[in-house]
Amino acid sequence: MTEPATLSAPRRDDAAGSRADAGPAPFDPDRVRRQFPILEPGRFDPPLAYLDNAASSQKPEAVLAAVDRFHRGYYSNVHRGIHPIAARTDSAYEAARRKVARWIGAAAPEEVVFVRGTTEAINLVARSYLRPRLEEGDEVLVTELEHHANLVPWQIVCHEAGARVVAAPVDDAGDLILDELAKLVGPRTRMLAVTHVSNALGTRVPVAEVVEIARGHGVPVLVDGAQALAHQRIDVAALGCDFYAFSGHKMYAPTGIGGLWARGELLADMPPYQGGGGMIRSVEVESSTWADPPARFEAGTPDIAGAIGLGAAVDWLEAVDLDGAQRYEDALVASAVARLAEIPEVRLVGRPADRVGVVSFVVDGAHPHDVGTVLAAEGVAVRAGHHCAQPLMRRFGIPATTRASFALYNGEADVDALVRGMHRVRELLLCF
């Protein structure tokens, strides 16, 4: 939302929705790139090819401006303030919640809880929803694709309860084996937690099919959507899941803000995750009663600026032709895959049938950290390591990979820079 110029004349919250109704202009990658100040020509020498988007995306001017206007023009804390700028802050904060709810297809804004990001969202569900229902001998089913954020929280509560975490396998291409997952869902399965898009391989999981398997056994499903929302619009109702977790900083919003969507009836039955101001109905010295969701789960002063920035990121994404953007990005990733495969020492890790935004590879004779260091000197920003997916690395028999990950502002020039950088890797690391 573009904030109002005066306190007395707020702009309608549905302005971005009206633009979306009119239909976005056809996707233009050059126009998109010009909206990101950090990517302006001449800012870096050598020029920056930013291919570390799975770790965090850059921010468009619209998001930067929205956060700046908040801090400069109407900063206040949220909730219970009665002065004019407090009222304006409240309005902007809750408007962001409504935008996110609309963006993901939630039935009501109250189903969206603002958290620090995907990690906190999953911890919230593990602690508040699952732990009270978990008994000795129960199981939480995950997959070998998962980020540590969708593994460790379940491990912690399972350890406390005497339960265990079980992982469904992936094949050599990096695709989830649905038949094997189905075999692992049983009478002691209390949660199925699955990534929407793998941060390490780019595998897009057929979540609706996973949910259908779980539904046949009455098992709730949490989806880690951290890597998905920057590349596609999702509809939680169509997916059929019970929880959907995501991070703002991967979808062009600030760090420190994200969301948990959950079915309203589930949130209403969950106890608080943290205690403090803002999440209570009444407090006595010895006991308290809780506010309704989502306030029940938003103890203390929230990341107000982050929420406003997240709302602005949703506005920005709604103005993008995402269908055209996905086709463009898919072609760009396919180009990177094909060109890297032509380099003799490069071995691609995973060839998923449905790949989103990520190319992961190893170089025979060179450590991924060394590859990343050489690429950085050439102006190419990639990520090197296990990508918080050590079980997946072990599945492929490797300790780490070099990962190039793409966003809507990337172009063929970035692929060119990556390929040039890899030839420099060959010169410096492989020619003895």
Please give the Cα distance from 67 to 63 (Å, whole number). 6
Active site annotation includes 431: no
Closest among 251, 328, 366 to 26, alpha carbons compared:
328
Which tokens is 55 given? 């770790």
Catalytic option among 158, 241, 388, 431 = 388
- Residues labelled catalytic: 388
